[in-house]
Amino acid sequence: MNPVYKKVPVSVHKRNPISESPIIIQHIDEVWNHKSPLFPSDLYERAHARFWVDYVAKQSADVKREGGQPVQGIKVLDSWASTAAMKVRIALAEKGIEYESMEEDLPHKSPLLLEMNPVHKRIPVLIHNGKPICESMIIVEYIDEVWNDRSPLLPSDVQERTRARFWVHLIDKKIYSLIRRLVWSPSSDNKKAAAEDLIEFFKVIEGELGDKPYFGGEGFGFVDVALVPFYGYFHTYETFGNFRFARECPKLVEWGKRCLQKESVSKNLPDPYKAYEFVLEHRKKLGIE
């Protein structure tokens, strides 16, 4: 029932497993939405609640380890090289929403960023009518709910929507630590093991894609938004890990090429070689050789 994490809790509803407690709670609230609502009906308040649920879950894990239609009041605290910020930009582009991008100098965080995201103090932050929404995929879900009349990202079916959230949760939970070991570790001794673990992770993701054009089926959606920014860094991962995605995960490479045919993706992903140079430059600044 939970072959990915292999841990409790797992909710089994109509023989369909749902894993990870925050996702299970949201599924329960959506299926039995006629009684005792757990999430607020207001979209901003709902996004705000999701942020704090996500924050508490992450803090708990740390303890255990030790051109579209103009819309008024949309700003994104942004960084061109950030995969997290790319997710937000892609979602806005899919919806055809114009916005003001405010590029952050991350070593010198702006007063606005510190004011709008006092908890994590990091990008991206979506500011909608003066109210901040933080954490990339919480922002993406907020965008999907506010502008729900066009280009839906989450499936309408509750089970499929829950399944999409599970895979996004897995991507966010696993991928950054794997990339950190491969790209940002000062030691070269563990590069081979880090590369093998990253490949294994992407093969699991490729298994979920299967023969579908996109993770949700025929249409570009929530899981695609969560994963495709990393495609812009495939060249970087290959170079540091001495492997080739085309050989290890060919279906995922074809999926990435398919996504790049969408303007919302191609305009928001960095050039692979520019991304690689950015990583090299940043490693030098951090004193990593």
Q: Tell me the C-alpha to C-alpha distance, in Å, between residue 55 and each of 21, 43, 81.
A: 13, 18, 23
The shares of helix, strand and coil residues in the chain, as percent rounded to the nearest 5, are: 55, 10, 30
Domain covering 158-285 assigned CATH 1.20.1050.10 in the classification: yes
The whole-number pLDDT of residue 189 equals 65
The whole-number pLDDT of residue 118 equals 95
Residue spans of the domains in the chain: they are 10-65, 69-146, 158-285
The whole-number pLDDT of residue 103 equals 96
The whole-number pLDDT of residue 67 equals 45
pLDDT in tens, the chain (289 residues): 778 777 778 888 888 888 888 888 888 888 888 888 888 888 888 888 888 888 777 665 544 333 444 455 899 999 999 999 999 999 999 999 999 999 999 889 999 999 999 999 999 999 999 999 999 999 999 999 999 999 999 999 999 999 999 999 999 999 999 999 999 987 666 888 999 999 999 999 999 999 999 999 999 999 999 999 999 999 999 999 999 999 999 999 999 999 999 999 999 999 999 999 999 999 998 888 6
- Separation between Cα atoms, residue 50 and residue 139, nearest integer Å: 10
Place domain 69-146 in its CATH homologous superfamily: Glutaredoxin (3.40.30.10)
The length of the chain in residues reads 289
The whole-number pLDDT of residue 225 equals 98
The whole-number pLDDT of residue 188 equals 65
Please give the helix or strand (H or E) that residue 34 lies within, else none: none
Judge whether 69-146 and 158-285 match in fold.
no
The whole-number pLDDT of residue 288 equals 85
The whole-number pLDDT of residue 114 equals 95
The whole-number pLDDT of residue 206 equals 98
Q: Which DSSP symbol is given to 287?
A: T
Q: Give Cα 133 to chain centroid, integer Å.
A: 15
The whole-number pLDDT of residue 264 equals 98
The whole-number pLDDT of residue 66 equals 37
The whole-number pLDDT of residue 60 equals 57
The whole-number pLDDT of residue 70 equals 46
Nearest to 265 by CA among 254, 274, 257: 257
- State both tokens at 183: 């790209």
The whole-number pLDDT of residue 280 equals 95
- State both tokens at 66: 């030790």
The answer to whether 276 and 235 are in contact (CB under 8 A) is yes
Cis amide leading into 250 (omega within 30): no
- Separation between Cα atoms, residue 99 and residue 94, nearest integer Å: 13
